[in-house]
Amino acid sequence: NAGVTQTPKFQVLKTGQSMTLQCAQDMNHNSMYWYRQDPGMGLRLIYYSASEGTTDKGEVPNGYNVSRLNKREFSLRLESAAPSQTSVYFCASSERLAGAADTQYFGPGTRLTVL
């Protein structure tokens, strides 16, 4: 039982390049989330998926797109990376959508640097 896995662990991009961050969970959770973590700002929600086939914007969605490929996988895409997107990205999952008392389980994170 691996929990939540993310790839890659580290990535360096040049401004304007695109990339996709991958996330998968093996806990049969319905809901999945993408956060970014910046110093002094905590974690901010980028996008979330309440269930397979649905996605919604979070607090900071600009510059990102997501795909809920199936129940296990939720990817985050940067179409044209900008230095402001330098951050650590965390994927998380929970049995139900936040609002219930369900714990969110986090992946190990992807450290992204945009030059």
Contacts with other proteins by CB under 8 A lie at 4, 33, 35, 40-45, 48, 58-59, 90, 92, 97-101, 103-104, 106-109
Phi first, then psi: what are they for 30, rounded to 5°?
Answer: -85, -35
C-beta closer to other proteins: residue 59 or 79 = 59
Residue 15 CB, shortest distance to other proteins, in Å, is 27
Residue 6 CB, shortest distance to other proteins, in Å, is 9
Residues 6+ positions from 14 with CB-CB distance below 8 Å: 81, 114, 115
C-beta closer to other proteins: residue 42 or 53 = 42
C-beta closer to other proteins: residue 56 or 79 = 56
Q: How many CB atoms lie within 10 A of CB 17?
A: 14
Residue 28 CB, shortest distance to other proteins, in Å, is 18
Instruction: Kindly report the length of the chain.
Output: 115
Residues 6+ positions from 58 with CB-CB distance below 8 Å: 33, 34, 35, 44, 45, 46, 47, 48
Residue pair 44/58 in contact by the 8 Å Cβ criterion: yes
Residue 90 CB, shortest distance to other proteins, in Å, is 7
C-beta closer to other proteins: residue 58 or 63 = 58
